[in-house]
């Protein structure tokens, strides 16, 4: 849910009414965050914000390594989704998991800068950058609670896997990325629903404005957010 824009800076989170409390945890272990690859050693990952292939065009503050961290219950549930999919010829492909609060603050700062033509063409061709704050970029993200994951679905034959056509790419800021947008093709809608149903079977709830975004209710530590770097 969009929240009022807060004045956030790297590692500094003022006590403003309505702001979720920042955890005092200083390590992933203290926060109850585990490496998803310890649950599924060969799960497919392309952690977008650890590199430059994302809407900001650069590695995002807080991402020191391309690692998927989640709270233990969310990681275990995700492993069950993967285990259920594989006999059906499908696999998950992860793009983002736990997201440090400083990374979210960096997204807000990015939204206030002038347009980059390449990023606009790929990620928000039909919107002004100022329109991204709120529905698409908020000053507080559920990812910072460690129970939210961004991912897609691949169809596999043996070890060869191909991403399913979902109608848009990841981080495509446009109503076309809404899970039930009526403009996608029948096949694209079916692919989105296949992902939603596989995740829902293990308790994950889809954010309807982003077909790739899922949260496991109850896996987080209340409303607490974390700012531990991903390493």
210 is catalytic: yes
Instruction: Indicate if the pLDDT at residue 59 is higher than 90.
Output: yes
Q: Mind listing the pLDDT tens digit for each residue in 120-131?
A: 999 999 999 989
Instruction: Name the CATH architecture for the domain at 28-215.
Output: 2-Layer Sandwich (3.30)
Which of helix, strand or coil describes residue 176?
A: helix
Q: What integer pLDDT is reported at residue 161 of this predicted model? A: 97
Instruction: Indicate the SS3 state at residue 31.
Output: helix
- Residue tagged active-site, from 30, 76, 210, 221: 210
Q: What is the residue-averaged pLDDT of the chain?
A: 92
pLDDT of residue 6: 33
What integer is the mean pLDDT of 94-105? 98
Q: Taking the domains of the chain in order of start, what are their residue ranges?
A: 28-215
Average pLDDT over every residue of 139-151: 96
**Residue 18, pLDDT score:** 60
Residue-wise pLDDT for 4-36, tens only, equals 333 333 333 333 446 789 999 999 999 999 999
CA–CA dist 89, 157 (Å, integer): 7
Q: Which two tokens stand for residue 183?
A: 């403009």
Q: What's the Cα-to-Cα distance from 57 to each of 20, 25, 52, 120, 227, rounded to whole Å?
A: 28, 29, 5, 11, 22
pLDDT at 222: 87
Over residues 194-215, the mean pLDDT reads 98
User: Environment class of residue 26 by beta-carbon count within 10 Å: exposed (0-12), middle (13-18) or buried (19+)?
Assistant: exposed
Checking if the pLDDT of 56 tops 90, the result is yes
């Amino acid at each position: 849910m969009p929240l009022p824009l807060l004045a956030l800076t790297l590692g500094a989170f003022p006590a403003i009414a309505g702001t979720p409390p920042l955890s005092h945890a200083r390590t992933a272990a203290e926060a109850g965050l585990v490496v998803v690859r310890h649950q599924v050693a060969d799960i497919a990952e392309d952690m977008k914000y650890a590199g430059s292939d994302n809407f900001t065009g650069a590695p995002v503050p807080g991402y020191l390594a391309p690692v998927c961290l989640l709270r233990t219950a969310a990681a275990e549930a995700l492993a069950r989704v993967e285990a259920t999919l594989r006999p059906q010829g499908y696999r998950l492909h992860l793009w983002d998991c736990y997201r440090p609060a400083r990374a979210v603050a960096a997204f807000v700062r990015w939204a206030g800068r002038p347009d980059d033509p390449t990023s606009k063409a790929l990620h928000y061709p039909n919107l002004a950058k100022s329109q991204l704050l709120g529905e698409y970029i908020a000053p507080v993200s559920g990812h910072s609670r460690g129970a939210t994951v961004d991912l897609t679905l691949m169809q596999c034959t043996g070890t060869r896997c191909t991403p399913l056509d979902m109608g848009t790419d990841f981080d495509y800021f446009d109503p076309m990325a809404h899970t039930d947008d009526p403009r996608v093709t029948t096949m694209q809608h079916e692919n989105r629903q296949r992902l939603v149903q596989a995740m829902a079977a293990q308790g994950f709830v889809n954010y309807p404005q982003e077909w790739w975004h899922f949260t496991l209710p109850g896996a987080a530590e209340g409303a607490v957010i974390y700012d531990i770097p991903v390493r």
